[in-house]
Structure 1
Amino acid sequence: MTTTLRLGAATGAACGLIIALASAVEIATGETVATSFALGIAPALGLPLIVALHLGHRGDARGLGSAAYGLNLVGLGLFGGAGFALNLVLVHFDPVVTDALPGPVTAALLGSALVFAAGTILFGIAMLRAGVYPRLPVAVYAFAFPLIALLAPLPDNLFISAVHIASGAALVWLASAVNARARTAPLPV
């Protein structure tokens, strides 16, 4: 289990750094092919961190923890796929094409954002209740990532970039806490 925690910590830190750095670059340059690529792949690196966060606090999280973990994991899978499509595929299409996406595609993109937002909020609440991880990055995680999901359809701006930077920093902090837990605390089986 220590290997799983360390893997989650490493990929989670990478995810957070990628999100924060790409968003900081976008403040200066606007959206670029490189920042779109970085933000498109970053969610995949966050999945092992969610697993590690859950494993590190599940004994303290009570009933909400497992359900919230599952919803957050599925939500990140869905929203990560949507983010990949938005940042690496649709960005290269003419706006006339993307504006004319069929209703089911738009509904699927919105649905993925809503599932991710709900899962993130509930998982954040479960982590706060368990009290295993530092409260500030957990609160930022629970608040900032749903904002990112719900603001995704809007044009990039300074506020959205700032939310990305804060969420990336929270992931790095949580990854550090998971890594420390892997080194020091006995975990529930």
Structure 2
Amino acid sequence: MRIQIIAAVAAALTAAISSAALAGDAGVVETVAETAYGTAPSRTRMEKHAGDVVQHRELLETSTSGAMKVKFTDGSKLALGAGSKAFVVAYVYKPEQSVANAIVSLPEGSMRYVTGAMPKDHTTIYTPTATMLLNGADISVGVNDRGNTHLMVENGSVTVRSRTTGQQMVYNAGESVDITPTGITTSTAALQ
């Protein structure tokens, strides 16, 4: 009986530590052009303004003529373009606890993402057709109305994996790629 109680307490503490690591703010809104919104967990959709906190598991949206810039706790920066949605799936940066992970989903629209102090290969960007693992990168990503993805690597490197075919390739500064349901195609032009 005693061992069961100790095991239950240990499991509860482990869960509490994991929850505590994820609890807290992911970043702050730096600027907003026109109109932008955020829907935090268990909250209603609210208009975002410069200085507003961005939480772990928050959906960020911009109006058809809006834009928003967010600075995350590790110094990474997200610039969300007009008519875009980005979901902060997970964002925790606590190097003193050896906990660091960033996962952002872009279901539609465009964004620019520049990594900060987050360790290399600890930042993942998802789109409907791609999984991108950033390695000290500055990237631009666009998702068109069909869910196809266009990636431009400005700096660093990105491991790109097709979510439908499993094809995987690494792209470096100056390279771009299109990811569609049929796979990965190296590109030099923006996705239409």
TM-score range, shorter chain: under 0.3
> Which has a greater percent of helix?
1
TM-score relative to the length of structure 1: 0.25
TM normalised by structure 2 equals 0.24
